[in-house]
């Protein structure tokens, strides 16, 4: 069997171990400690955001963001539709209701035209049309969304923007890091992300008071009393000091990972030329982190994403379909979905797109082999 080629697997260096060793040497093996404090500070500095909170997962960060947005029973959140379920599930944790917003074709992210339709519809004039509590925007596969347009709409309709930057750590829009545009933002350090702590996440915000509140909820919401007293519902969501050590080591390599991911994208771009497909697009005013390279097979071509993925799999190469849009998920069958016009862009992208192996340990020679196998499908 040929050696396994991964979609995106952890890439460790020597620096992670140094910080882990420090945690062991000083016995800071707990969900707090110097690595956690430093990791929070270093990520906030990298992203140029005021406050940060290290957590057990990106999903935990998204949950706390939904709570900070004040979402409770039946409140509406306007959500990216073409994304991983973790972007939108936390709305349900707080008994809110997701309304899904279709994608545009320039970056595959939330379409401002569809967003405006939803914002116009939910005008607050009735219970049925109650005003949304937030917009939850994901930057798909590391490519920033149309932030200028979306921010302008959020301001016009006075709905706060929340960013799911789980996939886009290190990506910029007009020179500014994603995760710094929303009122609050979440990033993830899950095993397949551009840098990883095995599992972990962080909440980012310009609002220090909000982050203090989230920190309180994330540590079981203990009131300042001599005994265990609780006036609010809490969670055990804090990142461990050992895990944060991995993160500190990884952060030193984020720029290098980005560079390698971009090389992979560019190699696919030239290697797949001439085939009836295109690569995942990005906005001119953005610099993606190129977390995953993706392909979109041309309309009318008989080859399907599963044809290519099955062929890759025969060679022990991992690819995968695009995220299945949330409005097509059985769990969310009853939720509303807004498109810019009659066309369902998310469903179309899903039917023709797939993710290519984008592991930064993949050599150029291995990638050439992947490209040849893809070429043989057409």
Ligand X SMILES: *Cc1c(COP(=O)(O)O)cnc(C)c1O
List residues near ligand X by CB under 6 A.
57-59, 83-84, 86-87, 138, 164, 166-167, 188, 190, 201
b/e per residue, 157-177, with b = 16+ CB within 10 A?
bebbbbbbbbbbbbbbbeeeb
Can you state the percent helix, strand and coil of the chain, rounding each to 5?
Answer: 40, 15, 45
Q: Compute the least distance from the CB of residue 166 to ligand X, in Å.
A: 4
Instruction: Closer to ligand X by CB, 291 or 337: give it.
Output: 291
Choose between 190 and 367: whose C-beta lies nearer to ligand X. 190
State the nearest-atom distance from the C-beta of 217 to ligand X, in Å.
17
CB closer to ligand X out of 78 and 272: 78
Q: How many CB atoms lie within 10 A of CB 235?
A: 17
Q: Using CB atoms, what's the residue nearest to ligand X?
A: 58
Nearest distance, CB of residue 86 and ligand X, angstroms: 4
CA distance 94 to 223: 22
Closer to ligand X at the Cβ: 132 or 201?
201
Please give the C-alpha separations between residue 126 and each of 130, 141, 158, in angstroms, as whole numbers: 6, 37, 17
User: At closest approach, how far in Å is the CB of 65 from ligand X?
Assistant: 11
Q: Which two tokens stand for residue 45?
A: 């500095």
Distances 80 to 118, 145, 223, 331, 372 between C-alpha atoms, Å: 12, 10, 36, 16, 34
Q: How far is the CB of 164 from ligand X (least distance, A)?
A: 5
For the CB of residue 189, give the shortest distance to ligand X in the complex, in Å: 6
Question: Which lies closer to ligand X via its Cβ, residue 97 or residue 109?
Answer: 109
- Among residues 190 and 335, whose Cβ is nearest to ligand X? 190
The residue behind tokens 């203990």 is 222
User: Distance between CA 365 and CA 191 in Å, rounded?
Assistant: 24
Which residues, other chains included, contact 232 with Cβ-Cβ below 8 Å and sequence gap of 6+? 216, 217, 221
Min dist. Cβ of residue 94 to ligand X (A) = 16
Strand order in the sheet with 176-177: 176-177, 172-173, 286-287
Closest CB to ligand X among residues 10, 272? 10
DSSP 328: G
Q: Which residues contact 209 (CB under 8 A, 6 or more apart)?
A: none
């Amino acid at each position: 069997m040929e050696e396994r080629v991964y979609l995106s697997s952890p890439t460790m260096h020597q620096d992670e171990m140094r910080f882990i060793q420090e945690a062991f040497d000083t016995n800071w093996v707990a969900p707090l400690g110097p690595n956690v404090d430093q990791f929070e500070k270093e990520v906030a500095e990298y992203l140029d955001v005021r406050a940060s909170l290290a957590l057990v997962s990106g999903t935990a960060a998204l949950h706390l963001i939904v709570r900070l947005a004040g979402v409770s029973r039946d409140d509406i959140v306007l959500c990216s539709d073409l994304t991983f379920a973790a972007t939108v599930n936390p709305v349900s944790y707080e008994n809110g209701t997701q309304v899904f917003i279709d994608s545009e074709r320039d970056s595959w992210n939330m379409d401002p035209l569809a967003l405006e339709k939803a914002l116009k519809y939910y005008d607050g004039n009735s219970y049925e049309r109650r005003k949304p509590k937030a917009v939850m925007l994901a930057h798909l596969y590391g490519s920033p969304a149309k932030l200028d347009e979306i921010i302008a709409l959020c301001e016009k309709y006075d709905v706060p923007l929340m960013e799911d930057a789980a996939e886009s750590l290190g990506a910029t829009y007009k020179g500014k890091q994603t995760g710094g545009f929303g009122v609050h933002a979440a990033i993830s350090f899950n095993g397949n992300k551009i840098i990883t702590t095995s599992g972990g996440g962080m909440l980012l915000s310009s609002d220090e008071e909000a982050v203090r509140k989230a920190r309180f909820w994330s540590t079981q919401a203990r009131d300042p009393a001599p005994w265990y007293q609780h006036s609010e519902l809490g969670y055990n969501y804090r990142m461990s000091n050992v895990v944060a050590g991995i993160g500190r080591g990884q952060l030193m390599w984020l720029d290098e990972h980005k560079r390698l991911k971009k090389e992979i994208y560019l190699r696919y771009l030239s290697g797949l030329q001439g085939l009836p497909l295109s690569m995942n697009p990005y906005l001119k005013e953005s610099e993606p982190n190129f977390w995953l390279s993706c392909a979109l097979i041309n309309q009318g071509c008989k080859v399907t994403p599963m044809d290519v993925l099955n062929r890759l799999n025969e060679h022990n190469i991992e690819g995968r379909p695009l995220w299945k849009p949330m409005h097509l998920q059985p769990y969310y069958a009853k939720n509303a979905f807004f498109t810019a016009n009659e066309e369902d862009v998310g469903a179309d992208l899903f039917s023709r797109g797939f993710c290519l192996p984008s592991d930064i340990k993949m050599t150029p020679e291995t990638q050439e082999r992947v490209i040849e196998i893809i070429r043989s499908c057409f």
